[in-house]
Amino acid sequence: MGGVRLIHHRNAWELDKAVRIVSEFLTRGHLRHLLLSHDVCKRAHLKAYGGSGYDFLLTEFVPRLRAAGVSQAECDTLLTDNPRAALTGTHQGAAPRRAG
């Protein structure tokens, strides 16, 4: 299965592909092994210059995940628990598999 190196706004097809890949990882039980990233490092990435901005994951990507059936609890794990575990070196164990 293909991976997603970086989630950013290029076009709807690429966003939908990223949502499908994240959903598939969740279905396979990898919830606690995923980190979502979004890179804003150039002026062109800022909303004022036509980019997706700093809030892209929260305002664009997470709503697409939710529409695809990813629960709020799973989103909370992706956005809060997993980054905390990565930064502190803690791990909470494997998450149960989702119904596919």
Per-domain boundaries in the chain: 12-88
* Residue 25 CB-density burial (10 A; 0-12 exposed, 13-18 middle, 19+ buried): middle
State the Cα–Cα distance between residues 59 and 73, nearest whole angstrom. 17
What SS3 string covers the chain? CCCCCCCCCCCHHHHHHHHHHHHHHHHCCCHHHCCCCCCCCCHHHCHHHCCCCCCHHHHHHHHHHHHCCCCHHHHHHHHHHHHHHHHHCCCCCCCCCCCC
pLDDT in tens, the chain (100 residues): 344 555 656 678 888 999 999 999 999 999 999 999 888 888 988 889 888 888 899 999 999 999 999 999 999 999 999 999 999 988 766 555 666 6
> Is 94:32 a contact under the CB 8 Å cutoff?
yes
What's the pTM?
Answer: 0.77
